[in-house]
A = this chain, B = another copy of it.
Amino acid sequence: MTSTYTIGVDLGGTNIKGGVCDAAHQLLSQHTLPTEAPGGFEHVLGRMAQLVDELVERSGMPRDAFDAIGVGAPGPLSHARGIIHAAPNLPGFVDAPLRDRFSERTGLRVALENDANAAAYGEFVAGAASDARSMVMLTLGTGVGGGVVLDGELWRGPFDNAGEVGHMIIEPGGRPCPCGQRGCLERYASANAVAERLAEAAAGGEVCALGSKVARGEAFDARDVLAARADGDALARRIWDETCRYLALCMVNLQHLLNPEVIVLAGGLINAGDVLLSGVRSHFQTESWKIAPDHPDIRLATLGTNAGTIGAAALAHREA
């Protein structure tokens, strides 16, 4: 018999978030500790173990009431081998055998998953796509991440690297990406790219309410673009509309290749709410065919920053 409770851990460069989930994927309690990433792999392992101890202690349940720990972590990593190959924000995590070492340390079985996959799986089991069997999630943050769930299973791909939706090319020969490609979705539809594209257009001479900030080299972000858009600024409106169109173009390709029932938008940019959702839906209607009734339902994520914790716990519970 497997236990009813699972711990999810969302390992980031700044904070480690943890939560206790039940078998119905409800988040019963949570706790966060600073990662103290500069301390290196062993130190961070200790921090993670401390977080687990606190979660167990606060739960009032014995340790054997927990069946496993799921860890969502930045990558590239190998789910099958439980190893983080490299993580830019976690110094010393080079081919780090996190799964086995963390399991030794906590006495619990551990599953290691890519953080974008864990978040997608969270929205699949307990969030915006909990009524679907197949979904793709696009996480619009600093970059654009993603996750693919097909018939209830996370699709990782033979190279453990599937779901990199942010590096699908939606503008051939377009904006260069640090990944080495040109025209990646990430270079148009991440929160950073939205601000960057506006700054470039303003620097190129287009009139914009944010023009003086651009001229002074002041930092601003996608929220400022959205605020300018709400105030009727024409350039901000155009940049935002193009962002929605690029997202829709990517979704048309997801539709034809995979036919998912649901596409979920997540990440900081979804704070834009209906301005994002209705913009993307409208462009999807324009760009996609109408000859087959296979349009996915486009939705906003509902779990916020808890998606990764819940998804990691659910994946670990599933493999228990």
Contacts and interface: CB of A to CB of B under 8 A. Distances in A.
Contacts of A181: 252, 287-289
Nearest to A290: B180
B294 A157 contact: yes
A76 interface: yes
A171 B169 contact: no
A178 B252 CA distance: 16
Contacts of A157: 134, 258-260, 294
A94 interface: no
B258 A162 contact: yes
Interface string A156-199: 11111111110111111000010111100000000000000000
A261 B156 CA distance: 12
B292 A161 contact: yes
Mostly helix, strand, loop or mixed at chain A's interface? loop
Contacts of A246: 172
A241 to B, nearest CB: 13
Given A133-B158, A158-B133, A253 B289 contact: no
A291 interface: yes
B257 A164 contact: yes
A31 to B, nearest CB: 33
A133 B155 CA distance: 13
A256 B170 CA distance: 12
B259 A167 contact: no
A148 interface: yes
B172 A249 contact: yes
B261 A258 contact: no
A162 B291 contact: no
Nearest to A293: B159
A45 interface: no
A148 B160 CA distance: 17
Contacts of A201: none
A157 B258 CA distance: 6
A253 B252 CA distance: 12
A98 B132 CA distance: 29
A153 to B, nearest CB: 9
A252 B165 contact: no
A209 interface: no
Contact of A180 (B76, B132, B170, B291): B291
Contact of A289 (B150, B162, B180): B180
Q: For the complex of A and B, list the 4 residue pairs with the smallest distance between their C-beta atoms, beginning with the closest.
A: A157-B259, A159-B294, A162-B259, A164-B256
Interface of A: 76, 132-134, 136, 146, 148, 150, 155-165, 167-172, 177, 179-182, 245-246, 249, 252-254, 256-261, 287-294
